[in-house]
Structure 1
Amino acid sequence: MQNANWIYDTTIILYALSIIGYFIDFLQNNRKANRIAFWLLSIVWVLQSVFFVQRMVEMGRPPILTPFEGLFFYAWILVTLSLVLNWFFRIDFLVFFTNVLGFLIMSINLFAPGEQVSDEMSTRLISELLVIHVTMAFISYGTFTLSCIFSIMYLLQHRLLKQRKWNKRLQRLGSLSTLERLSYGLNITGVPILLLSLILGVIWAFLKIQDFSLLDAKVVSSFVVIGVYSVFLYQKVARGLQGKTLAVWNTAAFLIVLINYFLASTLTEFHFWYQ
């Protein structure tokens, strides 16, 4: 595990340097700092992937069962999605805002207790249904996170336009229509993925857990998340809601996601390996 720890520590350092580069670019529109930050972040993604694979080989299971592993996987998804979207749409500040959050998650993980799942518990937990369930859940959280960041960028852009602050930073935030379209597209992707994840998780729980209840806090809160984002999509598609109101709604919806992950996980009897 020493090699894994070394990789993790190196990743944190390079992540911090990348964030600093993006911050300099954000303040000064420094393209050189942006390029350096991008390549540092690419190295971070490679090291995260190596750490993930190495941990999987050492433990003989997908490393997604503990809070440490879950948050690490979440941070990896954020880096991956931000790099992919920036490659296709060239929205530099998306990478900056997204990876400030990713860096905070990985930094918090440094102080998280190193939970271990016993061999007996691991055997009980591991199945194709569970692995797919957890993976899809974190992918949906990643899409909702980036969607929220696009909405925040939309609100910032909207405010700058309203105040008539014409500068390079305004141009690099992206157009309002692009930000709204990408935010909406990510939610369209995230809602069905989360729904399928929840269905698989419930099926697995019925098969593996005695006295499982659909009234478990984690299950109920997950359905609430799906409901909130479904209302968001309804407002957009059926009622034609758009602009600032929809961006505020989407930002508030993401707060429900955070409550679902962090608060409900402490109350659940379903995700018992988190206790």
Structure 2
Amino acid sequence: MIEMNLSRLNELTIIIYAISVLFYFIDFLHNNRKANRSAFWLLSVVWVMQTIFLFYEMIHTGKFPVLNIVEGLYFYTWVLITFSLLLNRFLRIDFILFFTNLIGFFMMAIHTFALTQSQSGALSDQLISELSIIHITMAILSYGAFSISFVFSLLYLLQYDLLKKKKWGKRLLRIEDLSKLDRVAYILNVIAVPMLLLSLILGAIWAYIKLDDFHWYDTKVLGSFTVLIVYSFYLYNKIVKELQGRTIALWNAASFLILLINFFLFGSLSRFHWF
């Protein structure tokens, strides 16, 4: 029973950690203090949960839990989170926090999957299945955000065309102004990109542990990383190159077409993906 509860604690920790990384990503892009504070407090919760688990292991085993790779990964993640909290609290080195915690999330995910291998067979299969559900759910949520972002870009292009051709009317008035359409499409992509990245991290680790014939050149794996890269370039063009208007809306629409190809075509060609 205790073994199962600790595994549940690890799963909950991963979910909270993922949300914290998402907020740090928003802060990284926009220097958003509210997002930074939210990420800090969520990361603090993760630290508390990890510390509880760490002390339980020390009391339960009577030794410091760093004597094998699984224990070492957990302690390494705890150290990264501790340093992140100290940096955030005292030095305010904001740019390093997102990337540090991305590494921490990756190590935490490896530890959680590896931990299930030491559990009983039925329990291990159940936990791995539940972690794969987290991976799938995060991927679909990111796809949903990308889809709605595409709709806003489509409305942007329609509104832009109506304004350019000076077709005044009720249709023009019912569509939001261009700046708001562009802004909402961008915000949705800011949320979806890190969510997809974290989903791919969980998916890759799950595949290595669960599948005997996992290959990086699987069509769905390549397609998913292509989607991530394309949307990352969208953010790069939007933030760094400051592309605006019709150009960035077209880029977003083209990115969504690549997403559809990955979802329907590459998914059907993959040997282990259904979605």
Which amino acid letter does the alignment assign opposite residue 146 of structure 1? I
Aligned counterparts of 1:151 and 1:209: Cα–Cα separation in 2: 38
Aligned match for 1:154, one of 141, 153, 156: 156
Aligned match for 1:200, one of 199, 202, 206: 202
Aligned counterparts of 2:191 and 2:145: Cα–Cα separation in 1: 7
What residue number does 2:181 align with? 179
Aligned counterparts of 2:268 and 2:159: Cα–Cα separation in 1: 37
State the shift of 1:236 in Å: 0.4
Matches within 5 A, 1:8-23: none
Tell me, yes or no, if the aligned pair for 1:205 and 1:270 is still in contact at 8 Å.
Answer: no
> 1:148–1:266: structure 2 CA closer, same or farther, 3 Å change rule?
same
Tell me, yes or no, if the aligned pair for 1:221 and 1:260 is still in contact at 8 Å.
Answer: yes
What residue number does 1:66 align with? none
What residue number does 1:143 align with? 145
State the shift of 1:168 in Å: 2.3
Which amino acid letter does the alignment assign opposite residue 157 of structure 1? Q
Which amino acid letter does the alignment assign opposite residue 222 of structure 2? V
What residue number does 1:223 align with? 225
State the shift of 1:126 in Å: 6.0
SS in 1 for 2:167: coil
State the shift of 1:128 in Å: 2.3
State the shift of 1:259 in Å: 0.6
SS in 1 for 2:271: coil
Where in structure 2 are there 5+ consecutive unaligned residues?
1-121
State the shift of 1:125 in Å: 9.4
Matches within 5 A, 1:47-62: none
State the shift of 1:269 in Å: 1.7
Tell me how large the CA RMSD over aligned residues is: 1.9
1:91-144 alpha-carbon deviations (Å, 9 max, x no partner)? xxxxxxxxxxxxxxxxxxxxxxxxxxxxx9xx6896221010110111011011
Aligned counterparts of 2:265 and 2:178: Cα–Cα separation in 1: 33
Aligned counterparts of 1:157 and 1:210: Cα–Cα separation in 2: 51
> 1:269–1:124: structure 2 CA closer, same or farther, 3 Å change rule?
farther
State the shift of 1:270 in Å: 2.8
Matches within 5 A, 1:24-173: 127-173=129-175
Aligned counterparts of 1:221 and 1:270: Cα–Cα separation in 2: 14
Identity of aligned residues (%): 55
Aligned counterparts of 1:217 and 1:196: Cα–Cα separation in 2: 19
1:167-203 alpha-carbon deviations (Å, 9 max, x no partner)? 2221211000000000001111111111111110111
Tell me, yes or no, if the aligned pair for 2:128 and 2:206 is still in contact at 8 Å.
Answer: no
Aligned counterparts of 1:178 and 1:227: Cα–Cα separation in 2: 25
Which amino acid letter does the alignment assign opposite residue 267 of structure 2? S
If the length of structure 1 is used for normalisation, what is the TM-score? 0.53
1:17-45 alpha-carbon deviations (Å, 9 max, x no partner)? xxxxxxxxxxxxxxxxxxxxxxxxxxxxx
Which amino acid letter does the alignment assign opposite residue 148 of structure 1? F
State the shift of 1:164 in Å: 1.2
Which amino acid letter does the alignment assign opposite residue 263 of structure 1? L
State the shift of 1:213 in Å: 1.1
- Aligned residues between the structures: 152
SS in 2 for 1:127: helix
Aligned counterparts of 2:184 and 2:174: Cα–Cα separation in 1: 15
What residue number does 1:245 align with? 247
**1:264 matched to 2:266:** yes
SS in 2 for 1:235: helix
1:46-97 alpha-carbon deviations (Å, 9 max, x no partner)? xxxxxxxxxxxxxxxxxxxxxxxxxxxxxxxxxxxxxxxxxxxxxxxxxxxx
